[in-house]
């Protein structure tokens, strides 16, 4: 079987890189962590990589705005390289702070026909005006994203103070909805959208995750890498064999896609 190579990009303040590397390895990938400065010096490293991950944390202390400084680094030093990576059919995943980076580089939502270098979406302060840490249900909103199963609702932990997804204009929101860019929505256990705490940050359209026009880029606020073992579920002792390790769905699907298509 083909060896799948994944790269977890890190920077000062990133704090979920080890967990993300571990999740990728559980899924069968050969995963390594690398500081962005090293990748800037040797961008040819990406030639042997099929999955690029921007993990969670607080890159550069989230100074200015969450993920903005790392996004500027990516945009100015690696923007064209990452876009070629995507054009070559490879996968990009952004988790929490990594999702913030992807929208602030313009890579997401990645509307077809757009230059995908201009920011059209942002992720800003939660409506609650506080850091929120809870488990949430997520309902897939599209059948085009290779990381998710379109009919499978999942349950993941989230932890952020800036998770509210907002579009620059109403027209961009309509385009995102119409063209299947909403990968995941916050819902209750029955699949219904709602106000806080169902939608924990006030995101437009209850958006928890976005995908691009190819379906090979996913950004989401909740943390799949924090639910890769049954015992990480908050009710695992009561649910027993009924626990599905939902975080692994995203990593398993990524590795499977690469094995079958690249």
Q: Which residues are catalytic?
A: 96, 223, 225
Residue 4: DSSP 8-state: P
Beta-bridged to residue 139, according to DSSP, are 185
Tokens 């059948």 map to which residue? 143
Query: 255 Cβ partners below 8 Å, 6+ apart?
Result: 4, 24, 27, 28, 29, 51
* 12/70 Cα distance (integer angstroms): 9
* 204/166 Cα distance (integer angstroms): 6
Can you tell me whether residue 242 is helix, strand or coil?
Answer: helix
Alpha-helical runs (H) found in the chain? 17-26, 36-41, 68-73, 79-87, 97-105, 170-178, 236-239, 247-261
Q: Are 239 and 112 in contact (CB under 8 A)?
A: no
Measured CA to CA in angstroms, residue 139 lies from 48, 67, 193, 240 at distances of 33, 25, 9, 23
């Amino acid at each position: 079987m083909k060896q799948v190579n994944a790269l977890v990009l890190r920077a000062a303040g990133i704090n979920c890189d080890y967990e993300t590397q571990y999740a990728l390895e559980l899924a069968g990938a050969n995963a390594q962590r690398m500081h962005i400065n090293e990748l800037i010096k040797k961008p040819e490293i990406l030639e042997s990589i099929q999955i690029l991950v921007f993990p969670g944390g607080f890159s550069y202390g989230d100074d200015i705005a969450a993920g903005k400084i790392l996004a500027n680094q990516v945009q100015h030093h690696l923007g064209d390289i990452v876009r070629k990576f995507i054009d070559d059919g490879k996968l990009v995943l952004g988790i929490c702070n990594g999702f913030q980076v992807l929208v602030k580089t313009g890579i997401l939502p990645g509307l077809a026909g757009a230059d995908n270098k201009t920011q059209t979406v942002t992720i800003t302060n939660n409506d609650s005006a506080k850091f929120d840490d809870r488990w949430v249900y997520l309902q897939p909103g599209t059948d085009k994203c290779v990381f998710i199963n379109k009919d499978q609702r999942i349950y993941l932990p989230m932890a952020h103070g800036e998770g509210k997804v907002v579009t620059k204009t109403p027209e961009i929101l309509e385009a995102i909805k119409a063209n299947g860019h909403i990968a995941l929505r916050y819902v209750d256990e029955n699949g219904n959208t709602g106000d806080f705490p169902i939608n924990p940050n006030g995101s437009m359209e209850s958006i928890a995750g976005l995908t691009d026009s190819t379906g090979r880029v996913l950004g989401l606020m909740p943390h799949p890498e924090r639910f890769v073992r049954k015992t990480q579920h908050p009710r695992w002792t009561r649910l027993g064999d009924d626990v599905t390790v939902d975080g692994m769905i995203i990593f398993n699907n990524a590795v499977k896609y690469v094995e079958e298509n690249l």
